[in-house]
Amino acid sequence: MERQLFSSLIWLLLSLSIPPISCISNNSYNRCGALFNCGNLTGIGFPFWGGDRAAECGHSPLKLDCDRRVRAAAATIQINSVNYRVLDINQGEKTLKIARDDLLRSQCPPQLANTTFDPQLFAYASSYVNLTFLYGCPPVDFPVPYPFECAVKGTKERRGFVEFGTQLSGMCHASVVVPVSYSSLINFKDVAALIGEGFEVRYVESAGCGGCERSGGRCGYDETGTEFVCFCSNRSAAENGTCGGGGAGDEADGPRAPGVADGGQQWPRAVTVEPSVSGTQALCSSELC
């Protein structure tokens, strides 16, 4: 009798402490109904996450943050350890317009790093021109374009200047290559304004999201952050990528290298390669003094 009473008591405690299965299964579905909003950027959903959108609602590298330190709140994204200000996201075209946040704040950023992208995730969406910021340059007897001064760790030279194209540091201590939109050169005024115009990249969306949404599901990722998951209102995740009814298994929604026509090779989900846009790396990656 005592054993039966003890078992009943244990079962009662467990039933009180564990939420219903339907509640557990609906958590991700409900969380992924939230959209990211910051400043003039509103209504942003999959494959991005951040703010009110939980981590499972987007691809791990595509986290958005909201910087409220600036006059008007601005969305930011970190790509290969460099912060970018997000000027616009076109989810229909799958394009992201970004500008180097560090160079918008100062021509003397705390870290000298080139602009680099993982080609599994991004590709340039429009024509662009490289700018090269040269740091720690010795004095010369001829005028240099767009001169500035920065204290750079590892050298006493403070001179710097900006050139169009991809330039190696040469006689200078370090170089940082930054792309700018080719169209922004039409009304070019100064380097700061040119950087502020930003440039567009196309992002790759994960396989099956279109079919998932058409079936009433919400797109996300599993706990590893590498596998696409379709969250359904009546269960934690769909086994076949849809929630039943409308748009099963859309191969056309699969991730492709931006610009590759239908039927071309699809990108694998693994993220491994991080080449430089310019094919060169900054010669100095230490912090400025």
The C-alpha angle 282, 288, 289, rounded to 5 degrees, equals: 155
Whether pLDDT at 280 is above 70: no
**Integer Cα distance of 152 and 172 in angstroms:** 11
- Under 8 Å between Cβ of 98 and 209: no
Instruction: Please state, rounded to an integer, the average pLDDT across all residues of the chain.
Output: 76
Average pLDDT over residues 158-164: 91
The percent of residues in the chain predicted with pLDDT above 70, rounded, is: 72
Whether pLDDT at 157 is above 70: yes
Task: Please tell me which of 13-22, 174-183, 251-260 the model is most confident about, judged by mean pLDDT.
Answer: 174-183
* More confident of the two residues 73 and 186: 73
- In this prediction the pTM is 0.73
**Integer Cα distance of 31 and 52 in angstroms:** 8
SS3 content of the chain, % helix, strand, coil (to 5): 20, 30, 50
Residue 68's pLDDT band (cuts 50, 70, 90): confident
| Exposure string for 196-212, b = 16+ CB within 10 A, e = fewer | bbbbbbbbbbbbbbbbb
Say what the pLDDT of residue 78 is: 96
Whether pLDDT at 93 is above 90: yes
**Integer Cα distance of 198 and 96 in angstroms:** 10
Average pLDDT over residues 255-263: 37
Which residues touch 40 (CB under 8 Å, ≥6 apart)? 72
Whether pLDDT at 1 is above 60: no
Average pLDDT over residues 223-245: 79
Average pLDDT over residues 13-31: 55
Strand order in the sheet with 148-149: 148-149, 159-164, 128-137, 174-181
Whether pLDDT at 166 is above 60: yes
DSSP 8-state code for residue 156? S
The percent of residues in the chain predicted with pLDDT above 90, rounded, is: 38
Task: Please tell me which of 14-18, 21-25, 182-186, 266-270 the model is most confident about, judged by mean pLDDT.
Answer: 182-186
Question: What's the chain's length in residues?
Answer: 289
29-61 pLDDT, tens digit per residue, is: 999 999 999 998 999 999 999 999 999 999 999
Average pLDDT over residues 86-96: 94
- Under 8 Å between Cβ of 31 and 57: yes
Query: How many C-beta neighbours within 10 Å does residue 281 have?
Result: 15
| Exposure string for 94-129, b = 16+ CB within 10 A, e = fewer | ebbbbbbbbbbeebbbeebbbbbbeebbbebbeebb
Whether pLDDT at 18 is above 60: no
**Integer Cα distance of 196 and 105 in angstroms:** 10
Whether pLDDT at 200 is above 90: yes
Q: For 118-132, 204-218, 252-266, which range has the lowest pLDDT when averaged over its residues?
A: 252-266
Task: Please tell me which of 23-32, 106-115, 219-228 the model is most confident about, judged by mean pLDDT.
Answer: 106-115
Whether pLDDT at 4 is above 60: no
219 burial (CB, 10 Å; 0-12 / 13-18 / 19+) is buried
Q: Is 169 left (phi over 0), alpha (psi -120 to 50) or beta?
A: alpha
- Under 8 Å between Cβ of 200 and 230: no
Whether pLDDT at 87 is above 70: yes
Say what the pLDDT of residue 236 is: 61
Say what the pLDDT of residue 267 is: 30
